[in-house]
Structure 1
Amino acid sequence: MTKHEFEVAMTCEGCSGAVTRILNKLGDVKFEIDLPKKLVWIESDKDVQVLEEALRKCGKEVKYNGTK
Structure 2
Amino acid sequence: MPSNHYQFNVKMSCSGCSNAINRVLTKLEPEVSKIDISLEKQTVDVITTLPYETIYEKINKTGKEIVSGKTL
CA RMSD of aligned residues (A): 1.1
Pick the aligned partner of 1:31 from 28, 31, 35. 35
Q: Equivalents in 1 of 2:5, 2:42: separation in Å?
A: 16
TM-score w.r.t. length of structure 1 = 0.91
Equivalent in the alignment of 1:21: 23
Q: Which has the higher helix share?
A: 1
Kept after mapping to 2: 8 A contact 1:31/1:42: yes
Q: Equivalents in 2 of 1:42, 1:7: separation in Å?
A: 12
Equivalent in the alignment of 2:52: 48
Q: Structure 2, unaligned stretches of length 5 or more?
A: none
TM-score w.r.t. length of structure 2 = 0.86
Q: Structure 1, unaligned stretches of length 5 or more?
A: none
Same amino acid, percent of matched pairs: 35
2:52 aligned partner, one-letter code: V
Aligned residues: 68
Kept after mapping to 2: 8 A contact 1:6/1:62: yes
What is the CA distance between 1:27 and its match in structure 2? Answer: 1.4
